[in-house]
Amino acid sequence: MVVQNTAMVVRHVKPRKQGEPGGRITKEGTIHASNVMVVCPKCNKPTRVAHKIKVVEISGEKKDKSVRVCKHCGKELD
C-alpha cells in the first residue's frame, strides 16, 4: 500500500538525456496493509478493528454475520 506522506524514500537518479538533471528524488514508499489503521466515520479517529457477531435474517432464516466494529465508539465500520 502507498499512503500519502509516509515511508518517504530517496532515489538517486542518473541523468539520462542531455539537459536532464540527475540527483536525489524523494518518493513515497510502500508499507504493509497490516500497518494501516482504519479511520472511524463517527469519532473520526484512527482505530483498531474489533469483530462482533450480528444476527441477520436472510430470506426467512436467521444467520450469524461477523461485523467490523470501532474499538473506541462501537459503531459498525462497513
Residues of the chain below pLDDT 50: none
pTM for the full model? 0.56
Nearest to 37 by CA among 28, 49, 25, 26: 49
